[in-house]
Amino acid sequence: MVTRREFVKGAAVFATASLFRLDPSSAASRQRPFRMPLRIPPVAVPSRSDDGSDLYEVVMRRARVSLLSDKRTVAWTFDGAFPGPTIKATRGREVVVRRFNRLDVPSSVHLHGAKVAAHNDGHPTDVIDPGDVKEYSYPNDQPGATLWYHDHTHHHTSRNNYRGLSGLYIIEDPDEEELNLPKGKHDIPLVLQDRSFRADASFRFRSHHDSVTGNSILVNGRPAPFFKVANRRYRFRILNASNSRGYSLALDPTAPLIQIASDGGLLAAPAPTSELTLFPAERADVVIDFAQFPVGSSVLLQDVDPADPSKKRAVLRFDISRGEPDPSSIPASLGPVERLVPDGAQREFNLSLDVDRNRWVINGKIFNPDRIDVRPQAGATELWTFRNQSSTTHPMHIHLVQFQILQRSNMAVALGEAGWKDTVRVDPSATVQLAVRFPTGYSGRYMIHCHNLAHEDHSMMAQMLVA
Ligand code: C2O
Ligand code: CU
Ligand code: CU
């Protein structure tokens, strides 16, 4: 509980203190909310470009990063940035990323949501050893989307991500231009990560088989920042890069979040919602129209506790600070999304806790990199069922593909989930059915796993061999 003493700096601040429920012993709780401006992660610059491809060279290294206002935090980073630098790719144009590992641990790096060859996918055992370098090639042969890259090392994904090894990867699609969506400095990434800090601002990471949560919510690496906006539309690309925590995001005062894209790209039509649920690894692009608020006012983005909606945590404050003309629009139709129809194998994945071994398992099995669990055919569209036999939510992710959600046993499929997805929340005791199409031209080993990173490490992961 936050007491008045920690927030003596002013009555206005105290009013928001209850929104910022933090462990008072942590370094972050000494910080007043909305004290630091939102930061935008740096955009990576290619070290070489030619007709068909851009080359990026990235050094994975320890760095002292500024997350809290007073002290620095030692993080494991891509090029010293937390979150890592955003890579901007163009649909149809290859990106090559040469990653130098100057950490003292091995690391495998995966591009989440991308259709890539198996040897570039960042298999958990395909690590870059300390001192080594590995080149990853990404064809970007898929629609524009907000993807992300992150460490995927066998048994250590949770720790390595917590310490900082993730960043955004945005595929820009020239076809989007004509939609006239907000762009440029009105197209803003928001990476959500919860972390706990010790008094000296170092990360307090505890390895758990269950969940790893932190008591402060960072947006682009800062706890509850503020962001000055004009009274117009903005596009926000929201990524839940947290290890285990899900968010239910809502604005206060209440106003719609107009979702325009899900994990794999644009929806067929905008989907307005008052509350946006994002579990780990899920993304949503939303438009907020600040023209509905007076200049000089503020709007809070909050994380609402689904079990008790009166409990809210501050995520970000938008300060509508100036008038500005708005040439952007949100078209009623964003473009066709082809409907997938299963025509291949049907598969079931039961998700449960193996109490004897204290491990999360898929179909009763602990992950084994030497075992192939499913063998899909390239070109087929399969019907997959995830059945959650536990009392906790599992955000299930499939590499290589963008799938579609056909049905949920416990509720209707939300409009914002009706497009391309690579990660799907499976609610406790519920079942989700998917249509999963395997692209032609891609074969080899890919992963299927829970994206609660503690579950993934221990050991809710399976392996597929696409042929
Ligand atoms: Cu986001 Cu297998 O990963
Ligand atoms: Cu992935
Ligand atoms: Cu899980």
The string of pLDDT tens digits covering residues 203-260 is 999 887 789 999 999 999 999 999 999 999 999 999 999 999 999 999 999 999 999 9
**CA 118 from chain center: how many Å?**
21
For ligand 1, whether the C-beta of 450 sits within 6 Å is: no
Distance 110 CA to ligand 1 centre (A): 7
Distance CA 103, CA 129 (A): 9
pLDDT in tens, 412-463: 999 999 999 999 999 999 999 999 999 999 999 999 999 999 999 999 999 9
Q: E strand or H helix at 145, and its extent?
A: strand 145-151
Asked if residue 403 has pLDDT above 90, the reply is: yes
Residue 275, judged by CB atoms within 10 A of its CB (0-12, 13-18, 19+), counts as: middle
Asked if residue 9 has pLDDT above 90, the reply is: no
In this prediction, what percent of the chain has a pLDDT beyond 90? 91
DSSP 330-372: --S-----PPP---S-EEEEEEEEETTTTEEEETTB---TT--
Asked if residue 25 has pLDDT above 60, the reply is: no
- Beta strands in 73-123, from DSSP E residues, in sequence order: 73-78, 84-90, 94-101, 109-112
User: Which residue minimizes the CA distance to atom 3 of ligand 1?
Assistant: 112
Question: What's the average model confidence in pLDDT over 126-142?
Answer: 98
Per-residue tokens: 173: 């699609």
Measured distance between the N- and C-terminal CA atoms of the chain, rounded to whole angstroms: 54
Distance 328 CA to ligand 3 centre (A): 39
Residue 380, judged by CB atoms within 10 A of its CB (0-12, 13-18, 19+), counts as: middle
In this prediction, what percent of the chain has a pLDDT beyond 70? 93
pLDDT at 19: 36
pLDDT at 206: 86
Distance CA 268, CA 275 (A): 20
For ligand 1, whether the C-beta of 455 sits within 6 Å is: no
pLDDT at 18: 35
Backbone angles phi, psi at 454, to 5 degrees: -70, -40
Half-sphere exposure of 235 (CA within 13 A, CB side): 23
Distance 329 CA to ligand 2 centre (A): 32
For ligand 1, whether the C-beta of 123 sits within 6 Å is: no
pLDDT at 5: 27
Distance 240 CA to ligand 1 centre (A): 12
pLDDT at 121: 98
Dihedral of alpha carbons 107, 113, 116, 118, sign:
positive
For ligand 1, whether the C-beta of 281 sits within 6 Å is: yes
Dihedral of alpha carbons 406, 409, 413, 419, sign:
negative
Dihedral of alpha carbons 377, 380, 383, 384, sign:
positive
For ligand 1, whether the C-beta of 65 sits within 6 Å is: no
The CA-CA-CA angle for residues 349, 353, 355, to 5°, reads 145
- Higher-pLDDT residue of 394, 17: 394
Question: What's the average model confidence in pLDDT over 96-125?
Answer: 98
Distance 450 CA to ligand 3 centre (A): 5
Amino acid at 128: I
For ligand 1, whether the C-beta of 150 sits within 6 Å is: yes
For ligand 1, whether the C-beta of 152 sits within 6 Å is: yes
pLDDT at 31: 61
pLDDT at 24: 44
User: Which residue minimizes the CA distance to atom 1 of ligand 1?
Assistant: 112
For ligand 1, whether the C-beta of 110 sits within 6 Å is: yes
Q: For 154-186, b where at least 16 C-beta lie within 10 A, e where not — what string? A: bebbbbbbbbbbbbbbbbbbeebeebebbeeeb
**Mean pLDDT of the chain, nearest integer:** 93
Half-sphere exposure of 440 (CA within 13 A, CB side): 2
Distance 198 CA to ligand 2 centre (A): 31
pLDDT in tens, 287-328: 999 999 999 999 999 999 988 999 999 999 999 999 999 999
Distance CA 210, CA 187 (A): 35
